[in-house]
Amino acid sequence: MQATIEVNGLRKRFGQTTALDGMSFTVTPGQVTGFVGPNGAGKSTTMRVILGLDAADEGHALIGGQPYISLRNPLTHVGALLDAGALQPSRTARNHLLWLAHSQGLNGRRVDEVLQQVGMQSASRRKASGFSLGMRQRLGIAAALLGDPPVLMLDEPVNGLDPEGIVWMRGFLRSLAGEGRAVLVSSHLMSELEDTADRLVVVGKGRVIADTSVADLITTASRGRVTLRTAARSEAMAVLGRAGATMAVTDRDTIVVSGLPSEHIVAVLNADGVPFSEVATYRVTLEQAYMDLTADTVEYRGTAR
């Protein structure tokens, strides 16, 4: 089976609310694809449609070329973590996984392997009712891995993890992609995906607004700007302004220059004898790039008082 998810032209309304408005993207093997967008952008609905839990009004979603509903032994094709809270409180972690394995016709021997993979061996005989959200997330991921699927889909898996858990999760997702799996991970926080995702599918108002590699997104959002560090800020701004640049001051000795390439900036400053200590390519953070992209698509924005 191909390790892919294909989402094509999904539309879905809930009453007056348009949750999906032509959502289309592909998740390829061997990569972590971040699925990001503000609250209400349609990420969970898309995942639910992919898993056949919600029906789309239009469009289709395929896993390894097939709709979820036609997959035999679906857990061996796709593992998903949608709601880590969905646990029977009186069951131990191990029994939860055994129950799931047996109900899906999978070999119970996988249970101890996946518990070890997610670092939960020592808690395997504890009841789920006493688990923190972070432990529930780990258990949910163990469940997703039970069928050793080539495709994984995780909705906000970092939610509730402590800093050590977040670092673990990043490495874990990378290793799953390194094994050739297609990994789709949703988040409404770009910072969570900064060191994890290879590609980003950025969504807003039910559709894709960018589908790009992380590196390309940062380059595009940085818009060829240049950071100039100089103790002679006023003189530098005057000569660069005459040369056609536009500028923003970021701190006492730093200017972000738009409209002139760095070689030209250096030439202009040298020609007028303006001293400077650094001219460098300006790089936005992934968070800033994301804020730029989604500025018009936030469903609820707090109002400053």
Ligand X SMILES: Nc1ncnc2c1ncn2[C@@H]1O[C@H](COP(=O)(O)OP(=O)(O)OP(=O)(O)O)[C@@H](O)[C@H]1O
Where does this chain bind ligand X (CB under 6 A)?
A: 14, 17, 19, 37, 39-45, 188
66 Cβ partners below 8 Å, 6+ apart? 77
Q: At its nearest, how many Å lie between ligand X and the CB of residue 7? A: 13
Whole-number minimum distance, CB 156 to ligand X, in Å? Answer: 7
The least distance separating ligand X from the CB of residue 267, rounded to whole angstroms, comes to 48
Asked if 48 contacts 186 with a C-beta cutoff of 8 angstroms, the reply is: no
Q: What one-character DSSP code corresponds to residue 72? A: S
Going from the C-alpha of 27 to that of each of 65, 176, 196, the distances in angstroms are 12, 14, 15
Please state the closest distance from residue 15 (CB atom) to ligand X, in A.
6
Coil, strand or helix at 255: strand
CB-nearer residue toward ligand X: 184 or 247: 184
Cβ proximity to ligand X: between 36 and 240 the closer is 36
> What are the beta bridge partners of residue 60?
8
Alpha-carbon torsion (71, 117, 131, 40), positive or negative: negative
Tally of CA atoms within 13 A in the half-sphere of 30 that contains its CB: 2
The distance of closest approach from Cβ of residue 14 to ligand X in the complex, given in angstroms and rounded to an integer, is 3
Closest to ligand X by CB, 36 vs 97, is 36
Q: How far is the CB of 183 from ligand X (least distance, A)?
A: 18
> Please, are residues 126 and 135 in contact by the beta-carbon 8 Å criterion?
no
Nearer to ligand X, 55 or 69 (CB): 55
The residue behind tokens 């191909």 is 2
- Phi and psi at residue 266, to the nearest 5°: -60, -45
Q: Which of 92, 297 has the CB closer to ligand X?
A: 297
CB closer to ligand X out of 126 and 188 = 188
Q: How far is the CB of 126 from ligand X (least distance, A)?
A: 28
The answer to whether residues 13 and 75 touch, using CB atoms and an 8 Å cutoff, is no
Encode burial over 171-199: b for 16+ CB neighbours within 10 A, e otherwise: ebbbebbeeebbbbbbbbebebbbebbbb
Decide whether 85 or 275 has the Cβ nearer to ligand X.
85
